[in-house]
Amino acid sequence: MSHDVVLYYKLVKQADLVRTEQRPEGQLTQSQIRNGWKLVRDGRDQFRVKMLCRDCIGNEALKEASRKEYEAKCAALLGQNNKTYSQMLAQAV
């Protein structure tokens, strides 16, 4: 049975990078580097890449989805949701 691995790309926002004196343009966090991620720049876009198999890519997508869901629930509890004023008025009625 073969175990195919491919490069897995995740878009990185400029705000998510850590700026240091050695790298003023930004770099990945130490935990991401320890987990095997590398930063790749392609023009204006920046990606973190890692060699993963198909199963691990699915697991990574599940982790990302549950993290986004968790952050959305936390923001809703703190009242920091991204609703527009008209959406809040419609919900109040």
In single-letter form, the type of residue at position 70 comes to: Y
Any idea what the Cα angle at residue 64 is, between residues 61 and 65, rounded to 5°?
85
Give pTM, 2 decimals: 0.64
Per-residue pLDDT of 30-39, as tens digits, reads 888 998 999 9
Alpha helices in 1-93 (DSSP H): 30-34, 54-78, 85-92
**Of 45-49, 67-71, 73-77, where does mean pLDDT reach its minimum?**
73-77
